[in-house]
């Protein structure tokens, strides 16, 4: 399965992507922006594939840049809740020179469209560290709006951090 965008394509994740996923997710500029900051391992990722992807609890794609055909990161919907028609969005671009090029926004638009039209979801939400301004901006440009600020919601490396919840709903107009 592939989701075609203007400058990127989302390719369904395969086991062959494991080394890239582990490398990207362990990059310092990625890892320290996630709530789960333990190092990623191939074993851990394969167990995620087995328990989450293969059981339909999550869908995950590789982000491929069309211009170079290079794989640059990954985007997913997790904890797909078919009763309440919602799921949680996650993303990382692991190639540092590809940050801030609009790819995150496009990947978010493609996977949320897929979540609404193919999976039949009503709500896609995300949690982001308040200090991650680039991510918040990208999500906002992809049509997510802020639902709430949760103050001092987690402690990472000894620092109390605020969390922002954002969401996007089926049938909402596309952001300009």
Ligand X SMILES: CC(C)(COP(=O)(O)OP(=O)(O)OC[C@H]1O[C@@H](n2cnc3c(N)ncnc32)[C@H](O)[C@@H]1OP(=O)(O)O)[C@@H](O)C(=O)NCCC(=O)NCCS
Could you tell me which stretch among 6-14, 62-70, 137-145, 155-163 binds ligand X (CB under 6 A)?
137-145
How many chain residues interact with ligand X (CB under 6 A)? 23
133 binds ligand X (CB under 6 A): yes
Q: Select from 22, 62, 93, 124 the one that contacts ligand X (CB under 6 A).
A: 93
102 binds ligand X (CB under 6 A): yes
Residues 31-50 close enough to bind ligand X by CB under 6 A? 33-34
Query: Residue with CB nearest ligand X?
Result: 104
Q: 3-class SS at 21?
A: helix
Could you tell me which stretch among 1-9, 78-86, 133-141, 165-173 binds ligand X (CB under 6 A)?
133-141
Please tell me the distance from the alpha carbon of residue 58 to that of residue 144, in angstroms, as a whole number. 20
Please tell me the distance from the alpha carbon of residue 145 to that of residue 139, in angstroms, as a whole number. 8
Contact 86, 72 (CB under 8 A): no
Q: Select from 8, 62, 77, 91 the one that contacts ligand X (CB under 6 A).
A: 91
Helix (H) or strand (E) holding 139: helix 133-141
Contact 8, 63 (CB under 8 A): yes
Find the shortest distance in angstroms from Cβ 33 to ligand X. Answer: 4
Query: Are β-strands 86-93 and 71-81 bridged in parallel, bridged antiparallel, or unpaired?
Result: antiparallel
Phi, psi for residue 54 in degrees, rounded to 5 = -70, -20
Find the shortest distance in angstroms from Cβ 174 to ligand X. Answer: 14
CA angle 157, 163, 164 (to 5 degrees): 155
| Interacting residue ranges for ligand X, rule: CB under 6 A | 29-30, 33-34, 73, 91-93, 99-105, 128, 132-135, 137-138, 141
């Amino acid at each position: 399965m592939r989701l075609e965008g203007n400058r990127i394509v989302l390719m369904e994740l395969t086991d062959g992507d494991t080394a890239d996923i582990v490398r990207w997710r362990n990059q310092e500029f990625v890892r320290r922006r996630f709530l789960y900051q333990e190092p990623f391992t191939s074993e851990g990722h394969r167990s995620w594939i087995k328990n989450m992807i293969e059981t339909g609890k999550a869908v995950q794609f590789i982000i491929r840049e069309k211009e170079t055909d290079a794989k640059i990161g990954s985007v997913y919907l997790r904890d797909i809740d078919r009763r309440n028609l919602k799921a949680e969005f996650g993303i990382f671009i692991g190639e540092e020179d590809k940050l801030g090029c609009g790819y995150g926004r496009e990947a978010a638009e493609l996977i949320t469209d897929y979540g609404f039209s193919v999976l039949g979801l009503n709500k896609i939400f995300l949690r982001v560290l308040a200090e991650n301004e680039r991510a918040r901006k990208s999500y906002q440009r992809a049509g997510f709006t802020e639902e709430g600020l949760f103050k001092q919601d987690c402690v990472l490396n000894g620092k109390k951090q605020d969390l922002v919840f954002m969401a996007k709903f089926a049938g909402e107009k596309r952001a300009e």
